Amino acid sequence: MARFSGIVSDIDGTLTHDDRRLSAEALQSAHMLSGRIPVVLASGNTLCFTRAVSKMLGTRSPLIAENGGLILPFYDSDPILIEPCRDELNAALNVLSKHFDLTVFDSRDRITDISFAKTVDKEEILPYLSDFPNIYFVDAEFAYHLTDKNICKSDGLIRTAKLMGMDAKDFVAVGDSNNDIDLFQAAGFSFAVANATPEVKKEADYVLTKKFGAGFAEAVDYLIQNDLIELEDNRRDFYVF
C-alpha cells in the first residue's frame, strides 16, 4: 500500500464523543501529529467553530467548513467561498418551515448551507424538496443540512489539496456520518470510526474497532504502525499563504 502525506478528518462524532465533547484521545493524537503532517479538518460545522477546533488541535493546516462551502487557506485569512444557490436554499427552508417546526442552527454564522435539528424523520422531509433540483439534503449524525448539490466535502478536499500542491489521493480520510462518504471516495484511503453509519462503514477501506475520538486515535496508530504516513521531524505550518 502507498504511503500518504496528509490526513483529513471530520469533527463531530470523529474527534468528539457523542455529546460533542472533544475526545482526549483524539486531542493527544492530533498534538502528536501537529506540524509533522498536514491534518485538514473537513466539517459540516460553521467556519468559526471549525477554525477554533483547528487551533485547539494544533492542526496547522488549511480547513474545510460547511461541508465544503468554505475553505480557509491559513488561520488568519479570509475564507474561499464556494457560492451556493442561496435563493433556492432559502425557498426550500421556507417550504419546510410551513410544514414542520424546525430548529435552525447557527443562522447568523452559516454562509453556504442551512442546518437544522433532527426533530423530523427525513422521509417526511424529502418529498417537499423534490421541486428544488439544486438542493442536496444531508443527513449528518448531529444535524440535517440543506446544501447546494455542487458543494460537498470531496470538492473541498480536492480544492484544498490543489492549493497545498497535493492531490486528494495523498490524504487518508476519517469520518463517521453520511456526509463523509464522498470524502472517502476522493481520498486515497479511508477509516470509519466504530460509531459510523452502516453506509459509511460500507464505503470505508477500514472499519475501526473504537468509537468516536478513540477511533481517530486508533486510525493514527494504525497508520504509524504500518508505515503508511510520512511524518516530518522538523515541525512546521502547512498553511497556504
Q: Which residues are catalytic?
A: 10
Q: Is 176 annotated as a binding residue?
A: yes
All cell numbers assigned to 97: 418551515
Residues 6 or more apart whose CB falls under 8 angstroms from that of 183 comprise 8, 10, 42, 152, 153, 154, 157, 173, 175, 190
The SS3 assignment for 52 reads helix
153 has binding-site annotation: yes
Instruction: Tell me the torsion sign for CA atoms 58, 80, 171, 205.
Output: positive
Strand partners, 39: 7
Residue 221 among known ligand-binding residues: no
Q: Which residues does residue 206 pair with via DSSP β-bridges, in sequence order?
A: 191
Q: Which residues pair with 173 in a beta bridge?
A: 8, 190
For 118, residues 6+ apart whose C-beta sits below 8 A from its C-beta are 139, 142, 143, 144
Distance of alpha carbon 191 from alpha carbon 114, whole angstroms = 27
At 46, list the grid cell: 460553521
Determine whether the annotation assigns residue 211 to a binding site: no
- 182 a known binding residue? no
Q: Could you give the CA distance from residue 80 to residue 168 in angstroms, rounded to a whole number?
A: 18
Helix (H, G, I), strand (E, B) or coil at 12: coil
Binding site residue list for substrate: 153
Binding site residue list: 10, 12, 153, 176, 180
Binding site residue list for Mg(2+): 10, 12, 176, 180
